[in-house]
Structure 1
Amino acid sequence: MRPDISVVLCSLNGAEGVDRCLTALAAQTARPAQITVVDDGSTDSTGDVARAHGVGLVRHPVNRGVAAARNSGIAASTGSIIAFVDDDCEPHPTWLAGIAQVWSEVDDDVVGVGGRVRPTGEPGYLLGFHRRHNPLEPLDEALALGDGFAHRLRLYAQRQWRRAEPTELRRVFSLVGANMSFRADAVAAVHGFDEAFRFGGEEVDLCMRLRAAGGRIAVSEHPVVDHRFVTELHDVLRRSRAYGWGSARMFDKWRSGLPTVFPGPVLLLAAVAVAARRGIPAAAACALLVPQLLHPRGVRDAVETGALESLADPYVRVAQETAENVGLLSGLWRAWVTGRPI
């Protein structure tokens, strides 16, 4: 029997995206039990857009963060499954039917199911970059096998050389907030999202607690949403820094293993410093070569597809990792030195 699914859409000043998303939800081949928009303290017309579409609306008088918004959506939902989508996403017409199909087939110990997030936006280099290096991929289940430095470094190195092959249904460590769904009773049993996570990391934290309670998390290729990226470099780095803040929150809460620090920027800085002793040309050559060695997929993609723009990918990847390291360190400084919440 297919489950009844409630859909939750959270937004902060995203009226235009809410309109696009609700239009896409209205075109679904399967009908949800309900749709709830959570307006998390917006100052634009988000609430008016939700009312115009005739869906449920919960409004926070002030911005409380994405975890609190998701919890308000959960409280307003009646379905046995609660599906989440973001205001910068547009579900494909079969998205809801795909979620329902997966839930009707998985074992009872599966408590979370996600789908594929496809980057969209203005055509150009950065859209191609996001499609080659999608930041909205579910975290691999291999992360659960260990939290030591050697294990993390091996997984990091493997990701530089090979892409994850799409499969019908696979187990994962955690889901992506833009396309995820959970059993309502399982989420209630772990008391929902941790509202200390105002942005970034809240879905990873929830999945970790669900896994600790004995549940399994899975992802399918069939429930697909398009995620609209701002294809500008400053937004790419802003998003990466926000991921670093999320990592700081995770580490500050769990204090297990090591925080997620990317070694590439540190290695690049050390190599350039050593090469600089031989002069500026040596340092410049090192700065050009080392990113290609750290992220060899750029060369491989250029050879396999003929798209020479892939050769620029390693430099953007190093910039992303640097921004994420900065976000992590600034978040930990805020929590551990100033004593303020991250």
Structure 2
Amino acid sequence: MQPQVSVVIPAYNSARTLAACLAAVYAQSHPPAEVIVADDASTDATREIAGEFPVRLLTTPVNRGPAAARNRGIRASTGEVVFFVDADCAPSSTAIATALRILAQTPDVACVHGIYLTEPLYDDGPVEAYRLLHAHHWRARNTGRVRTAIFALCAVRRTVFDDIGLFDENLRASEDVELSDRMVQRYGIWLSAELTCRHDDDSRLWPMLRKQFGRSQLLVPVAVRERGPAGLRANRPGGVLATAAFLATLPLALLSPVLLALPVAALIWFAAADAPLAGFVRRQRGTAFLAFFLAVHFLVHLSIVTGAAVGGLRFLLDRDFGPSRTLGVEAGR
């Protein structure tokens, strides 16, 4: 018999997308046994929209982040498989059935997660197109056995949480990377291109860069805590290094115009750092959009590098910043 599935949806100010998300969940070819919406102190109509569907709604008076919201959903759920869906995602109709099939076919795999389609949930322009093309490509090129799970669209056997504990609520970003690091020590993780969803991604440049800067501050603390080889990475190391080289050499141009060649060389290095991604974007949207894509991609990398530098400094100065220092089997409970 197929295991029962509990769908857990963490939500914060998700009124724009929650109805589409829940409609897609209730249209699954394999219906879930229960659907739990863990509202994280929303100030919009999220709870009212959830109330229009036969969900179990969990509320809290204080916003505590996605890790805490997912943990509340896990504790309240009863299914043998917990299927996580972010509130801004609309899973394809066979998503649950696909995850269950992969879990059944590969008994040593305890976690299956999927990829974003290039078609958005709502089309909000070129910045969102950039985000989805990049997100789709880096996931698609890493399908198979991986060391990291992304919980936007993800099925996990309940026994995993009984064994390793829940999400680290000290983290408001990279919480899935930290949990994956504990999980992969004992269980297989699978990234599948068959498990898909449409996603409503960032569509405004400055808020997107600001959010990327904030999230990147946790890259160093989480990487320091990682055991074994690094897990999934969204960006090529060459692009990150080229961006760092640009920042390091740009001030030299103030000393002599000749030295401007150094940051220009770094930009050329950046543009060539991920040729398969560039080729994918050109095939999807053409050469003109590729130029826009690379410009935005470079700004994102600037946010990543500067955010990581700030986060590394905070990690050195503040013992409460980053993953819980006493992390173990009971972490996150």
Task: For 1:241-320, list aligned pairs within 5 A.
Answer: 241-251=213-223, 253-254=225-226, 262-273=240-251, 277-279=256-258, 286=265, 289-297=268-276, 300-301=279-280, 306-320=286-300
Aligned to 1:148: none
Give the deviation of 1:132 after TM superposition: 3.3
Contact 2:131 2:202 in 1 (8 A): no
Give the aligned residue type for 1:115.
Answer: G
3-state SS in 2 of match to 1:24? helix
The 2-side partners of 1:269 and 1:318 are apart by 12
Give the aligned residue type for 2:292.
Answer: A
Residue 34 of structure 2 is aligned to residue 34 of structure 1:
yes
Aligned to 2:174: 201
Residue 156 of structure 2 is aligned to residue 182 of structure 1:
yes
Of 264-273 and 285-294, deviating more is 285-294
Give the aligned residue type for 2:116.
Answer: V
3-state SS in 2 of match to 1:21? helix
Give the aligned residue type for 2:217.
Answer: W
The 1-side partners of 2:115 and 2:230 are apart by 28
The 2-side partners of 1:192 and 1:302 are apart by 37
Task: For 1:1-342, list aligned pairs within 5 A.
Answer: 1-107=1-107, 109-119=108-118, 120=120, 121-122=122-123, 124-134=125-135, 137-138=138-139, 164=141, 170-197=144-171, 199-212=172-185, 214-251=186-223, 253-254=225-226, 262-273=240-251, 277-279=256-258, 286=265, 289-297=268-276, 300-301=279-280, 306-342=286-322
Give the deviation of 1:332 after TM superposition: 2.9
- CA deviations on 1:195-241 (whole Å, 9 max, x unpaired) are 111x22111111111112x2110122222111111222223313422
Contact 1:90 1:226 in 2 (8 A): yes
- CA deviations on 1:284-316 (whole Å, 9 max, x unpaired) are 855763432344457645775643321333332
The 2-side partners of 1:105 and 1:3 are apart by 14
Contact 2:109 2:189 in 1 (8 A): yes
TM-score normalised by the chain length of structure 2: 0.82
- CA deviations on 1:141-197 (whole Å, 9 max, x unpaired) are xxxxxxxxxxxxxxxxxxxxxx727x6xx1011111211111101112111111111
The 1-side partners of 2:83 and 2:124 are apart by 29
Give the deviation of 1:52 after TM superposition: 1.8
3-state SS in 2 of match to 1:60? coil
3-state SS in 2 of match to 1:38? strand
Q: Relative to 1, partners in 2 of residues 1:304 and 1:113: Cα closer, same or farther, differing over 3 Å?
A: closer
TM-score normalised by the chain length of structure 1: 0.80
The 1-side partners of 2:152 and 2:229 are apart by 27
Aligned to 2:330: none
Q: Relative to 1, partners in 2 of residues 1:267 and 1:39: Cα closer, same or farther, differing over 3 Å?
A: same
Unaligned runs of 5+ in 2: 323-333
Of 243-252 and 290-299, deviating more is 290-299
The 2-side partners of 1:245 and 1:87 are apart by 24
The 1-side partners of 2:74 and 2:6 are apart by 9
The 1-side partners of 2:125 and 2:244 are apart by 29
- CA deviations on 1:81-104 (whole Å, 9 max, x unpaired) are 001011111111121222222222
Q: Relative to 1, partners in 2 of residues 1:28 and 1:16: Cα closer, same or farther, differing over 3 Å?
A: same
Give the aligned residue type for 2:270.
Answer: P
Give the aligned residue type for 2:71.
Answer: N
Give the deviation of 1:74 after TM superposition: 0.3
Give the deviation of 1:252 after TM superposition: 5.4
The 2-side partners of 1:287 and 1:294 are apart by 10
Instruction: Name the % identity.
Output: 27
Q: Relative to 1, partners in 2 of residues 1:208 and 1:50: Cα closer, same or farther, differing over 3 Å?
A: same
Q: How many residues align?
A: 312
3-state SS in 2 of match to 1:174? coil
Give the deviation of 1:78 after TM superposition: 0.6
The 2-side partners of 1:333 and 1:303 are apart by 38
Give the aligned residue type for 1:94.
Answer: T
Give the aligned residue type for 2:111.
Answer: G
Give the deviation of 1:330 after TM superposition: 2.2
Give the aligned residue type for 1:321.
Answer: H
The 1-side partners of 2:138 and 2:73 are apart by 24
Give the aligned residue type for 2:123.
Answer: E
3-state SS in 2 of match to 1:31? coil
Give the root-mean-square deviation of aligned CA atoms: 3.0
The 1-side partners of 2:3 and 2:19 are apart by 26
